[in-house]
C-alpha cells in the first residue's frame, strides 16, 4: 500500500519588492522573472517527491504593500509554514521583519512555524557595506524563534531548494508556516 500524499501550504510574506515572487517562481517554474510586477495574491501548486513522499506544495505569494494590509491575512488559514522574506540590500525590509511581519503572523497564525529568508543573496558578490550581514540575520532568526535563516538568490538558485525542503521537513515532522 502506497503512502498517502501530503499537502503543505507555504505562505511568503515580506515588504514589497524584496523578491518573494522571484523566489517562488524559480522554485515552482524554474524561471526567473526579469520584470517586476507587484503581486496582489497568487498561489502556485506543484507536486514534488520529497524524502520518498508525494507532496503537493501549495505556495502562496502575498502583497507586501501597505494597501493590502487588511486583505493579506486571508491567505494565512491552514498555512503550514511562513517564509519571512527580506532583501539583504534593504535594512528597512530586514527591520520590518520584527516590527511588522512577526506581529502580523503571530496575530493571525500564532502556532505556525516560520523561516527567515534573506533574498537577493547574489548581491554579496558585488560587495558593499550596506548589506545585511549574515551574522545579523542569524541572530535575528534566533531572537524571533525562526526554524532557520536561509539566504537565497533566485537569480542563481542559491538556497532556493533549501528553503522549501526546510518547510517540507518541518511540516512532515509537525507543521510549519513560511512567510
Most confident of 1-15, 65-79, 98-112: 98-112
What's the mean per-residue pLDDT of the chain?
A: 89
CB atoms within 10 A of CB 148: 18
In this structure, which long-range contacts are made by residues 168-171, counting pairs with CB atoms below 8 Å and at least 24 apart in sequence?
168/8, 168/48, 168/50, 168/51, 168/55, 168/57, 169/51, 170/80, 170/81, 170/113, 170/115, 171/6, 171/8, 171/80, 171/81
| Domains, the chain, with CATH or none | 10-173 (3.40.50.300)
Sheet holding 114-119, edge to edge: 41-50, 53-62, 6-14, 81-87, 114-119, 149-151
Q: Are the C-beta atoms of residues 109 and 177 closer than 8 Å to each other?
A: yes
C-alpha cell at 112: 505556525
Residues 135-160 have a mean pLDDT of: 98
pLDDT digits (tens, 9 = 90+) for 8-27: 999 999 999 999 999 999 99
Least Cα distance to 87 among 167, 148, 14, 34 occurs for 14
**More confident call, 126 vs 138:** 138
Q: Reply yes or no on whether the pLDDT at 143 is more than 90.
A: yes
Dist CA 71 CA 82 (whole Å): 16
Q: Reply yes or no on whether the pLDDT at 58 is more than 90.
A: yes
Q: Reply yes or no on whether the pLDDT at 1 is more than 50.
A: no
Residues 157-177 have a mean pLDDT of: 84
Q: Reply yes or no on whether the pLDDT at 175 is more than 70.
A: no
> What band does 127 get if pLDDT is binned at 50, 70 and 90?
confident
Q: Reply yes or no on whether the pLDDT at 98 is more than 60.
A: yes
pLDDT of 39 reads 64
Amino acid at each position: 500500500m502506497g503512502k498517502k500524499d501530503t499537502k503543505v501550504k507555504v505562505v511568503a510574506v515580506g515588504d514589497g519588492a524584496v523578491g518573494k515572487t522571484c523566489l517562488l517562481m524559480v522554485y515552482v517554474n524554474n524561471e526567473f522573472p526579469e520584470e517586476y510586477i507587484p503581486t496582489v495574491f497568487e498561489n502556485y501548486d506543484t507536486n514534488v517527491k520529497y524524502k520518498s513522499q508525494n507532496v503537493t506544495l501549495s505556495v502562496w505569494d502575498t502583497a507586501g504593500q501597505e494597501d493590502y494590509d487588511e486583505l493579506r491575512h486571508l491567505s494565512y488559514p491552514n498555512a503550514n509554514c511562513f517564509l519571512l522574506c527580506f532583501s539583504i540590500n534593504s535594512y528597512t525590509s530586514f527591520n520590518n521583519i520584527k516590527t511588522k511581519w512577526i506581529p502580523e503572523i503571530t496575530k493571525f497564525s500564532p502556532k505556525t512555524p516560520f523561516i527567515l529568508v534573506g533574498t537577493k543573496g547574489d548581491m554579496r558578490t558585488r560587495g558593499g557595506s550596506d548589506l545585511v550581514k549574515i551574522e545579523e540575520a542569524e541572530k535575528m532568526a534566533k531572537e524571533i524563534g525562526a526554524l532557520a535563516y536561509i539566504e537565497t538568490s533566485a537569480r542563481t538558485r542559491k538556497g532556493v531548494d533549501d528553503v522549501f525542503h526546510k518547510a517540507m521537513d518541518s511540516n512532515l515532522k509537525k507543521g510549519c508556516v513560511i512567510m
